[in-house]
Every structure is written in C-alpha cells, then in structure tokens.
Amino acid sequence: MDGNGRWALGRKLPRSQGHLEGLKAAKRVVKAAAGAGIRYLTLYAFSTENWKRTAEETGFIMGLVKQHLRAEFAFYRENGIRIRHAGNPAGLPADILAELEGALSETRDFKGLQVILALNYGGRDEIIRAFTRLAEKEGALADISEEALSSCLDNPDVPDPDLIIRSAGEFRISNFLLWESAYAEYYISPVLWPDWDEGELNRALEAYRNRERRFGGVKG
C-alpha cells in the first residue's frame, strides 16, 4: 500500500494525513475484496524496514493500526472478516501486539475474507524465522524441503498469492512475501494508495483474469 506520503505531499498536507486517507482506502478495498469473493487479502501495512522512518511517523502509523483494530470490530463481524497477522510479533510495541492478538482471537471463527495484516513484516525475516522453527523440530534438518519450510511460515495454511498489487507505480518487491510470491502475478498501478477504491481493485482483477499462468510449464 504505497503512496500515502506522495498523496499528502501533493496536497501540501503532513504525511500523517496521507496515512489516515490510506487507512480509509484499505477499508474500501477490504470491503470490495470481500464482495468480490476473494478469500485472502494480505495488506502490507508496515515493513521491518519502515522503522527507519521518524519516531513521529512510525508512532502515528502504529497508533492508526491500534485504533483501527479496536474500532472496526462491527465491520469485521458484519462482513465475516477474519483478521490474521504476518510478521515478527517480537518487534511490535506491547500495546499494539495486545490489540492485534485481541483482533485475531475475536475474529478467529469468522468464515468470510481473511485479511492478513503484514505488520513488522519482512520477507527475509519471515524466511529466517521459518528456518528457526524448522530447526527446532526433531529431525527436521535431515529432511529439508520446500513443503517443510512452507509449513513453518507465519500462516502456513494461507495459499501462495495469485496476484500481488502494488500501488504508486514503484517497480520493486520491497521484501514482500519473497517465498510465497514465486509464481504470483504482479499488477503495478500508478494510482497512489489513498486514491484506491473498488474501481481500482476491479481493474487489477480484470488484468489478472487476462493473464495466462503456466507455472513454468507450457501452454496446455
């Protein structure tokens, strides 16, 4: 979800205003994704590298996440949305972690769209933590396989993404789902994240429908 800062800058507003609008966009897109019958949606909200930003900005984003998790419970219930987390819980402030764990447990049985909040998430960090979990399993290192490592990722039951959408026009991965994205389709849009809505999501889904996925094979 990139482009919050540029959105604000273009309007001579503080970056925090961009994050606030980005949150509204996230809600629009979550609702649209649920309506479109999508089963899993991962929102890259905060990376392991985003801590390089000022304490003011990281504090503001964390505050937004905390507020949002608490305020949106009715929205989750009405739409059957289950909240999950990807990322390193150890690096999260205690109050955010408590709020996050509350949302995870309160929505655990909801059967609709699963929204995976990537918070303090880094693809490399996830792979390292997965290897650490694997190494702790009795005899696991004698039998290293893709399946074994996949089973130690943050959300092993969540399938690999079919489509990865990047807003704000940057052509890079930025440490997102490195392992899981092996055969994901990419959709890069110049539209800044705060301007995203159902229409933008539908354009991305339409582009995806026209892709031919071969997974390294040949057209059959």
Considering only residues 54 to 93 of the shown chain, the ones binding ligand IPE according to CB under 6 A are 61
Residue 119, interface with ligand IPE (CB under 6 A)? no
According to DSSP, residue 13 is labeled -
Q: What interhelical angle do 94-106 and 55-71 show, nearest 10?
A: 30
Instruction: Give dist(CA 131, CA 148) in Å, integer.
Output: 9
Closer residue to ligand IPE (CB): 2 or 72: 2
Residues 187 and 208: beta-carbon distance below 8 Å: yes
Rounded CA Rg of the chain: 18
From 4, 50, 88, 109, the catalytic residue: 50
Judge whether 175 counts as a catalytic residue.
no
Which residues, 2 to 41, sit near Mg ion by CB under 5 A?
A: 2
Concatenated DSSP letters for 174-214? TT-STTTTTT-EEEE--S-GGG--HHHHHHHHHHHHT----
Q: What number of chain residues touch Mg ion (CB under 5 A)? A: 1
**155 token code pair:** 């959300």
In the complex with ligand IPE, the residue whose CB is nearer, 50 or 155, is 50
CB 3 within 8 A of CB 26: no
Q: Pick one of ligand IPE, Mg ion, none as the site partner of residue 120 (Cβ within 5 to 8 A by kind).
A: none
Question: How many whole angstroms separate alpha carbon 134 and alpha carbon 122?
Answer: 18
Name the residue type at position 103.
Answer: A
- Choose the contact partner of 72 out of Mg ion, ligand IPE, none; CB within 5 to 8 A by kind: none
Instruction: Tell me if 2 contacts ligand IPE by CB under 6 A.
Output: yes
- The reply on whether position 4 binds ligand IPE by CB under 6 A is yes
For residue 50, indicate whether it is catalytic: yes
Out of 1, 33, 62, 65, the only residue in the binding site for ligand IPE (CB under 6 A) is 1
Candidate segments 3-11, 68-76, 89-97, 146-154, binder of ligand IPE by CB under 6 A: 3-11
160: which 2 tokens?
């690999």
Give min distance, CB of 45 to Mg ion, in A. 12
Helix and strand totals (H; E) in the chain: 8, 5
Residue 37 Cβ vs ligand IPE, minimum distance, rounded to whole Å = 27
Indicate the residue whose CB is closest to ligand IPE.
5
How far apart (Å, rounded) are the C-alpha atoms in residues 2 and 26?
A: 11
> Which of ligand IPE, Mg ion, none is residue 76 near (CB under 5 to 8 Å by kind)?
none
Q: Annotated active-site positions, please?
A: 2, 50
Can you give the binding site for Mg ion, defined by CB under 5 A? 2
